[in-house]
Amino acid sequence: MHGRLMSSLARIAVLCALTFTGAQGALAQHLPDTVTTDVLRVCGDPGNMPFSERKEDGFENKIAAIIADELKIKVRYYWLTQGPGFVRNTLGTGLCDLIMGQAFGSDLVQTTNPYYRSAYTLVTRKGEYEGVTALDDPRLKGKSIGVIAGTPPVNRMGDLGLVSTMKAYAPYQLDPARKHQTVAAEIIAALAAKEIDAAVLWGPAAGWLAKQSGVAMNVVPLLKEPERPPMAYRIAMGVRIGENDWKRSLNTVLRKRKADIDAVLRAYDVPLLEEDDNKLAEPAER
């Protein structure tokens, strides 16, 4: 779920036993033998803001740093652009032990407990389409709405007769000469330039990109849509299938450092939803 986030719904995983190479701190000694115990090896995309970047300034980078801090080890990244084969060539080959930002419940990787829940959003220029909170609003009829091809909103827009004027962007653009880092960033730039009327994007990407666009925008979570296709998702971390001890270790950290993780997500304008209700979560008191 981010021009590339939906690729996390189609991951493959294999078992890989790695040799213990020496612990760094008491907690490191209790990490499972199936992962490297002296460093947190994270599979990451080097150019996928606001999620991750080689400079480690994405919110998933910040959350990985929190995990490593709690485990008393350092982070080491293995970079590969997300797309077909991402998991097979990183987690699957044993290059790394953890993928951030996985859809909870994927049957192709083992997921930790979710560490946040968010939704797709409607993004518009401020002052236009004020008060529009659902895709069936008649004011959207006939408008040019940017969306990433193959993502859940496309199906919903089809049901509502919005496809004829929809502008679908290809989910993967590997051309090194492209102007924007991600497809989501390209869509937000088109909205800022008034090339499209609105956009429907995964909220964790949309919030930060809209703020960075230089044009005042409204980012409205789509909380009133039917359950199918789903517009809200729980996001977890992905480990190899069978690495249950490693998963439990991560779950302990996620529970212990929840307040710190939530603070990072809010700092990057990620719309956070209640765990079991389609409404925005209130910030926790710290």
Interatomic CA distance for residues 278 and 260, integer angstroms:
23
Q: What six digits make up the tokens of 201?
A: 């994007």
In this structure, which amino acid lies at residue 215? V
pTM for this prediction: 0.85
Q: How confident is the model at residue 174 (pLDDT cuts 50, 70, 90)?
A: low
Q: Are strands 116-125 and 74-79 parallel, antiparallel or unpaired?
A: unpaired
Residue 33 to residue 50: CA distance in whole angstroms: 32
pLDDT attached to residue 213: 97
pLDDT at residue 28 is higher than 50:
no
pLDDT band at 176 (very low <50, low <70, confident <90, very high): low
Residue in 111, 187, 200 with CA at minimum distance from that of residue 153: 200
Q: What does the pLDDT read at residue 101?
A: 94
pLDDT band at 282 (very low <50, low <70, confident <90, very high): confident
* Digit-coded pLDDT (tens) for 152-163: 999 999 999 999
Say if residue 127 is exposed, middle or buried (CB neighbours under 10 Å; 0-12, 13-18, 19+).
exposed
Closest CA to 12 of 173, 172, 238: 238
| Continuous H helices in the chain | 59-71, 152-159, 183-192, 203-212, 244-256, 258-267
**Tens digit of pLDDT for each residue in 244-259?**
999 999 999 999 999 9
Given a cut of 50, is residue 3 above it in pLDDT? Answer: no
- Residue 35: pLDDT band with limits 50, 70, 90: confident
Q: What confidence tens digit (pLDDT) does each residue in 39-61 have? A: 999 999 999 999 999 999 999 99
pLDDT of residue 1: 45
Length of the chain: 286
Percent of the chain with pLDDT over 90: 70
pLDDT confidence of 25, banded at 50, 70, 90?
very low
